[in-house]
């Protein structure tokens, strides 16, 4: 799997996504990140292979994805114009399943015409505010937002996970799957980066997009539920989900 994540000051997003990808069973994970993140990534995730961008502080150019089974991009990459141009070029040239999250979605919201260039089968994982920016306006509550997400998934041929207390997966055929796991304690910075890493890891293992999304959502929420039992909602942080992910895998395979 390839993770494209992080910028100067946002190495944490790359760390969380990469650790989650590894914990999801990906045999080898490569991280594309700016040069200034090298030391912290090497120390924090020694299991990952690092591929440094030529720029010190941001993602600046697309990379060859022929050697990868899946690519997840967006956590912490920022939204500056050089990164935006590199992102759409990366999406165009990637030949494996793609997941886009976080700042990758914010870039698309700033360049909405580019959405017509997205490949069929792409996975998008917006939280409510990111989705409203993507759709070009505010939503009148959860049901209106879900309806818009379902229409967008059908129009783009995409898999859209609308994150929330009960996340919803909108399929290209207009069906919607509601995830039963998860809790309010997971509404904290970095938890979305963990979900992106989990799903990218499952894609790399050979899961198709629909199954990677369904299983990934369920495991992500279950890890949060298991963590809350021991830690409580107030103290939950994104790294706890990664620590409890092995227990979540064990529970679903019992």
The tens digit of pLDDT for each residue in 45-89 reads 999 999 999 999 999 999 999 999 999 999 999 999 999 999 999
Give the bridge partners for 98, in sequence order.
71
Mean pLDDT, all residues of the chain: 98
- State the pLDDT at residue 137: 86
- State the pLDDT at residue 250: 98
Contact 165, 147 (CB under 8 A): no
d(CA 5, CA 2): 10
- State the pLDDT at residue 15: 99
Q: Which residues of the chain have pLDDT under 50?
A: none
Pick from 154, 176, 173, 166: which is nearest to 217 by CA?
A: 166
What the chain holds in terms of domains, given with CATH numbers, is 2-252 (3.40.1190.20)
């Amino acid at each position: 799997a390839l993770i494209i994540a992080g910028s100067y000051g946002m190495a944490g997003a790359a760390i969380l996504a990469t650790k989650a990808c590894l914990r999801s069973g990906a045999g080898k994970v490569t991280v594309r990140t700016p040069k200034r993140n090298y030391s912290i990534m090497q120390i924090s995730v020694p299991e990952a292979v690092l591929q440094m961008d030529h720029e010190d502080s941001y993602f600046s150019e697309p990379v060859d994805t022929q050697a990868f089974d899946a690519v997840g991009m967006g956590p912490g990459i920022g939204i500056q114009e050089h990164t935006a141009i590199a992102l759409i070029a990366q999406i165009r040239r990637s030949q494996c399943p793609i997941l886009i999250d976080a700042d990758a979605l914010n870039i698309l919201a700033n360049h909405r015409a580019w959405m017509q260039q997205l490949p069929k089968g792409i996975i998008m994982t917006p939280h409510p505010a990111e989705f409203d920016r993507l759709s070009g306006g505010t939503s009148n509550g959860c049901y209106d937002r879900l309806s818009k997400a379902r229409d967008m998934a059908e129009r783009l041929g995409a898999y859209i996970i609308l994150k929330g207390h009960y996340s919803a997966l909108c399929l290209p055929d207009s069906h919607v799957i509601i995830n039963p796991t998860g809790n309010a304690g997971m509404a904290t910075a970095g938890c979305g980066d963990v979900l992106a890493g989990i799903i990218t890891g499952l894609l790399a293992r050979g899961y198709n997009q629909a199954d990677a999304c369904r299983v990934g959502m369920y495991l992500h929420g279950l890890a949060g539920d298991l963590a809350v039992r021991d830690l409580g909602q107030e103290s939950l942080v994104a790294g706890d989900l990664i620590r409890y992910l092995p227990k979540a895998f064990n529970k679903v395979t019992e």
